[in-house]
């Protein structure tokens, strides 16, 4: 390592420090002696945490989006490098400060690594080692009179927050405010200069609208605009927090923009309009809401996006709106305007135009850019020295925003590695730009400081380092299903269709998940082909005809003409044979593009789902009488966002499960109200939701197991309490184990969580989440250091929207759990830790081919009675009930289990429950998510190895057909002359 230069040896200093470095400092740039920088003018340099710190996973630091990107997709970096070590400032901060001293700096602008301080992104867990690092860094600067200037976020968002949608999630401003509070509280006693965000354009446009910078979402035409709104709201919340609680008399807070100077290529009106549009798209969209007198997004850009959105078929503008309150809240939230300036371009409305994705921000503005060949060029392909561009920027901001206090927070030039210490071109660049600064000061620009980029060579983003489920229920009575009772079978799109990328179909989260993680699938088989129902739908309808008078549940969402044609054909084929279709709008297969925007943890998913539902209702409402909005929201949220068991595999325990629950329920309610308002009167259809609900009992009836069961039921049911367009839930019964007091209590707690979170808001008399759940989560959140409960609140308007928003409750029920208080060391915070129970299955219950599934038919009876009493006799459908076996057609265990559960259901109906239908899972073998094809639930066996994906009826199909025809349960009935070979008996 090169030794540091001694401050007392000027000759050595000139040999070891590049010429440009000698030009930085409070005594620099005095070529024109008649002009002088003001004594209080701050000279400094700038860096960013990811680019210099290294220590990417050291001492408890969490993963950020650049860690994730460079480790999972290293080829996007020019030299396939990363910031794992970078300049190793985490271990060499004293040397960094020594360099600042050598330069004679007044100030040093650096950024904090959010996940180094808050590893999960949330305020509940502060990493003491990360805090100590920044304390040391700050104190070392102050020791030598160097002013620390801190940027709160310089592109390195915690990956856990990105998994929840990052800047595209409207909850982001709240997350950022919480982070800001932690930071201000930790360092605000010594740091008086704060920048909220560095370069919003690069964050929003390059990160969310293109594949230029992390997280590289490429949500063209949508991502940048959503990000812009949430970013400026986050800035405002942080600003007000600081000014009200931490600033004192001398603390200041602002925001920094990257401003490429733009001017018209010619004096034509077209070029002037194009230049203004480009300015608005580049930085005006982020500065106008804060600095302009009117507030809100730029007028011209907003009008263009509004017009193009309408032409492109969007139901509303891609440009999000601010409320009047938001406009006033954001406007004026600044103490200074930070400027990162490097270069300029000439802009045309008629020349140098290129084709761009539609929609996209670039297509919205549709401008061409040009840089003259005689402008000096740096090794960075985007960087040329444009004449007097810094001066022009400063004068433009002065005029546009009434001369605010300004700081140049970045300005710099790249060189090639082989140039070594000889960087005369950098010297020239600095000298010319600082002459511009002096000119600006002479012109009355309220400029207070200049920060050179950068103190040291670092990781230059994508350029790397190149530029520097017992027995049957029977009491002897012959019970019968009513003639109007609906029997059916279920499937789901991803599990049966195949044709994953055929005819314009978009990628779903399960396509992505299974292609990315084939090692997580039991037999490695994915849904790319599955049962090939996309091409064999007529054979599928033949299976339904073979079974008899059926309702069929299933179908996913597609939004292209080939997709519509497939569903048109399938629905028409069903109706042709008097088979009633029941369509599920959403069964686990979210488009990956929407997941990239945060999926179900993004509140905007509510509107996306409503828009999608409107398209489907307009197309099929006249043909389809039964609709399920969402299948198993509890499974989606708990296992998709709080665990890695289901796609999208987001592991943000304790937070995302609840965010998902709120959004997915509100999405259901919005779609219910849509159908109620625009389609119900004309088509007389019913809309509901399906929940996964297993019964719960105390383990050996111990009290704690009973309580755990109650809590489980609350969380499984309560979050979704409605009443007349239905929703299908996977609901398994739960009972306490052993009836001991502690087990009984555990069961109650378990029921509260498993039922209370998803059913109470829709079906309970008061609406809202279970009060038991709210108290538990709020208390635990406080203990864990969160500023507010991890369970989001429902506003009075949202409670009203949700309450009664279902015509029926769909129940996906498979088994019963026996409950006791947990003795495990559970991850905290997490949904599992909030409930605090352990689940077991009856030791002597019959076991299926799935380790989680044992036969306990009494649970279905008890569950129906429980729901009947709790929610005042709701209309219910059993939308899934099934049994897994291995391969083979002799599936007596499935046939017997089906009979037992249907006997239990008949008893529940006799005892007053309003169960109107029963659906078997599944019509045929399919891709059972992470189990692949290793667990077979089909009435028909599918030969996945055959080209035709041959479907063959099992014994259970014949038994179910007999039940549908006779409407009674005939114990031990088997068809005569059935040509199915029985398994050979093995004597042990």
Active-site annotation, residues:
199, 410
Q: CA 790 to CA 735: how far, in whole Å? A: 27
Q: CA 263 to CA 279: how far, in whole Å? A: 9
The strands making up 344-348's β-sheet, listed across from edge to edge, are: 261-264, 344-348, 368-370
Q: Can you tell me whether residue 728 is helix, strand or coil? A: strand
Q: CA 201 to CA 262: how far, in whole Å? A: 15
Residue with tokens 């380790």: 851
* Helix locations, 58-171, DSSP H: 65-72, 89-103, 114-117, 128-143, 159-162
- Burial (CB count <10 Å: 0-12, 13-18, 19+), residue 850: buried
Tokens of 885: 């076996």
CB 721 within 8 Å of CB 803 = yes
Q: CA 983 to CA 955: how far, in whole Å? A: 13
- Quickly count: other Cβ atoms within 10 Å of residue 15's Cβ: 10
Q: Can you tell me whether residue 453 is helix, strand or coil? A: strand
First to last CA, the chain: 74
- Quickly count: other Cβ atoms within 10 Å of residue 417's Cβ: 11
Q: For the CA atoms of 856, 716, 905, 872, what is the dihedral angle to 10 degrees?
A: 140
Tokens of 184: 């201000």
The enclosing H or E element of 691 equals strand 686-702
Q: CA 349 to CA 492: how far, in whole Å? A: 49
Question: Rounded to whole angstroms, what are the CA distances from 949 to 230, 556, 888?
Answer: 48, 21, 15
Question: Phi/psi class of residue 405: alpha, beta or left (left: φ > 0; alpha: ψ in -120 to 50)?
Answer: beta
CB 555 within 8 Å of CB 574 = no
Specify the length of the chain in residues: 988
**Burial call 532-544: b when 16+ CB within 10 Å, e when fewer:** bbbbbbebbbebb
Question: Rounded to whole angstroms, what are the CA distances from 441 to 43, 394, 435, 445, 955?
Answer: 14, 9, 10, 5, 89
Q: CA 266 to CA 407: how far, in whole Å? A: 31
- Quickly count: other Cβ atoms within 10 Å of residue 681's Cβ: 8
Instruction: Estimate to the nearest angstrom the gap between the alpha carbon of 81 and the chain centroid.
Output: 27
Q: Can you tell me whether residue 891 is helix, strand or coil? A: coil
DSSP letter at 788 equals S
CB 152 within 8 Å of CB 241 = no
Query: What stretches of 814-927 adopt beta strand conformation (E)?
Result: 816-821, 837-840, 875-880, 914-921
Q: CA 809 to CA 127: how far, in whole Å? A: 45
Q: CA 852 to CA 831: how far, in whole Å? A: 19
Tokens of 610: 């409503």
Q: Can you tell me whether residue 481 is helix, strand or coil? A: coil
DSSP letter at 388 equals T
* Helix locations, 729-845, DSSP H: 741-756, 760-763, 771-783, 796-802, 831-835
Tokens of 319: 């440009």
């Amino acid at each position: 390592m090169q030794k540091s230069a001694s401050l007392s040896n000027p000759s050595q200093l000139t040999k070891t420090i590049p010429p440009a470095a000698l030009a930085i400092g409070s005594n620099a740039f005095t070529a024109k002696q008649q002009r002088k920088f003001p004594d209080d003018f701050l000279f400094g340099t700038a860096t960013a945490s990811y680019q210099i710190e290294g220590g990417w996973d050291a001492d408890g630091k969490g993963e950020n989006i650049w860690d994730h990107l460079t480790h999972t997709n290293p080829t996007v970096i020019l030299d396939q490098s990363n910031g794992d070590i970078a300049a190793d400032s985490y271990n060499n901060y004293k040397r960094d400060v020594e360099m600042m001293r050598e330069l004679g700096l007044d100030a040093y602008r650096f950024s904090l690594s959010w996940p180094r301080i808050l590893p999960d992104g949330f305020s509940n867990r502060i990493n003491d080692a990360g805090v100590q690092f920044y304390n040391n860094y700050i104190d070392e600067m102050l020791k030598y009179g160097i002013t620390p200037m801190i940027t709160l976020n310089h592109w390195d968002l915690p990956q856990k927050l990105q998994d929840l949608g990052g800047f595209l999630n409207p909850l982001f401003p709240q997350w950022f405010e919480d982070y800001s509070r932690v930071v201000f509280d930790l360092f605000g006693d010594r740091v008086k200069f704060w920048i909220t965000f560095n370069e919003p354009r690069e964050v929003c446009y390059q990160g969310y609208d293109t594949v230029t910078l992390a997280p590289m979402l490429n949500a063209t035409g949508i991502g940048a605009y959503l990000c812009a709104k949430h970013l400026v709201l986050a800035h405002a919340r942080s600003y007000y927090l600081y000014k009200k609680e931490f600033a004192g008399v001398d603390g200041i807070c602002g925001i920094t923009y990257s401003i490429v100077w733009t001017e018209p290529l010619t004096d034509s009106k077209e070029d002037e309009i194009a230049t203004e549009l480009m300015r608005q798209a580049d930085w005006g969209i982020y500065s106008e809401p804060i600095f302009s007198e009117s507030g809100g997004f730029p007028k011209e850009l907003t009008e263009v996006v509004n017009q193009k959105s309408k032409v492109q078929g969007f139901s509303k503008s891609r440009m999000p709106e601010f409320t009047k309150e938001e406009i006033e809240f954001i406007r004026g939230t600044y103490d200074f305007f930070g400027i990162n300036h490097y270069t300029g371009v000439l802009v045309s409305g008629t020349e140098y135009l290129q084709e761009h994705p539609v929609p996209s921000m670039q297509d919205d503005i549709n401008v061409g850019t040009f840089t003259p060949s005689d402008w000096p060029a740096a090794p960075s392909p985007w960087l040329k020295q444009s004449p007097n561009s810094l001066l022009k920027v400063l004068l433009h901001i002065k005029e546009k925003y009434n001369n605010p206090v300004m700081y140049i927070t970045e300005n710099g030039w790249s060189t090639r590695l082989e140039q070594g210490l000889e960087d005369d071109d950098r010297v020239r660049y600095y000298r010319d730009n600082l002459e511009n600064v002096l000119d600006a000061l002479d012109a009355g620009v309220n400029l207070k400081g200049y920060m050179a980029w950068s103190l040291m060579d670092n990781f230059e983003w994508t350029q790397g380092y190149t530029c520097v489920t017992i027995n049957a229920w029977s009491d002897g009575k012959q019970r019968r299903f009513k003639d109007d009772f609906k029997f059916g079978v279920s499937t789901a799109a991803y599990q049966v269709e195949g044709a994953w990328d055929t005819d314009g179909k978009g990628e779903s989260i399960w396509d992505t998940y299974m292609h990315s993680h084939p090692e997580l699938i039991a037999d490695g088989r994915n849904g790319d082909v599955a049962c090939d129902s996309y091409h064999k739908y007529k054979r599928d309808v033949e299976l339904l005809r073979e079974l008899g008078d059926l309702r069929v549940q299933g179908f996913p969402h597609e939004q292209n003409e080939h997709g519509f044609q497939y569903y048109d054909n399938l629905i028409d084929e069903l109706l042709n044979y008097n088979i009633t279709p029941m369509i599920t709008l959403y069964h686990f297969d979210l488009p990956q593009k929407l997941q990239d925007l945060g999926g179900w943890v993004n509140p905007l998913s509510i509107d996306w789902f409503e828009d999608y539902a409107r398209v489907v209702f307009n197309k099929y409402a006249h043909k389809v009488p039964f609709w399920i909005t969402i299948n198993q929201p509890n499974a989606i949220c708990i296992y998709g966002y709080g665990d890695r068991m289901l796609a999208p595999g987001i592991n943000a325990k304790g937070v995302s499960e609840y965010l998902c629950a709120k959004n997915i329920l509100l999405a259901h309610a919005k779609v219910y109200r849509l159908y109620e308002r625009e389609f119900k009167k004309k088509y007389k259809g019913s809309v509901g939701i399906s929940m996964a609900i297993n019964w719960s009992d105390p383990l050996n009836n111990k009290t704690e197991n009973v309580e755990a069961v109650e809590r489980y039921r609350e969380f499984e049911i309560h979050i979704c309490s409605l009443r007349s367009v239905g929703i299908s839930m996977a609901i398994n019964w739960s009972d306490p184990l052993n009836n001991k007091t502690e087990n009984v209590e555990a069961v109650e707690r378990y029921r509260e969580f498993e039922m209370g979170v998803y059913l109470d808001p829709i079906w309970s008399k008061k609406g809202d989440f279970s009060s038991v759940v709210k108290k538990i989560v709020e208390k635990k959140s406080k203990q864990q250091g969160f500023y507010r409960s991890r369970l989001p609140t429902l506003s009075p308007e949202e409670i009203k929207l949700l309450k009664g928003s279902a015509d029926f409750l769909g129940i996906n029920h498979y088994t019963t759990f026996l409950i006791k208080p947990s003795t495990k060391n559970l991850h905290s915070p997490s949904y599992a830790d909030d409930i605090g129970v352990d689940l077991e299955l009856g030791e002597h219950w019959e076991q299926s081919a799935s380790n989680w599934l044992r036969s306990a038919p009494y649970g279905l009876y008890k569950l129906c009675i429980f729901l009947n009493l709790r929610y005042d006799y709701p209309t219910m459908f059993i939308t899934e009930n099934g049994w897994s076996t291995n391969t083979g057609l002799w599936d007596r265990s499935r046939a017997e289990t089906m009979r037992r559960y249907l006997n239990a259901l008949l008893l529940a109906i006799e005892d007053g429950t309003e169960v109107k239908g029963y659906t078997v899972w599944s019509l045929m073998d399919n891709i059972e998510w992470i189990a692949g094809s290793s667990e077979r639930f089909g009435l028909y066996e599918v030969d996945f190895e055959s080209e035709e994906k041959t479907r063959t009826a099992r014994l259970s199909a014949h038994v179910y057909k007999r039940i549908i025809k006779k409407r009674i349960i005939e114990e031990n009935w088997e068809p005569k002359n059935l040509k199915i070979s029985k398994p050979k008996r093995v004597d042990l």
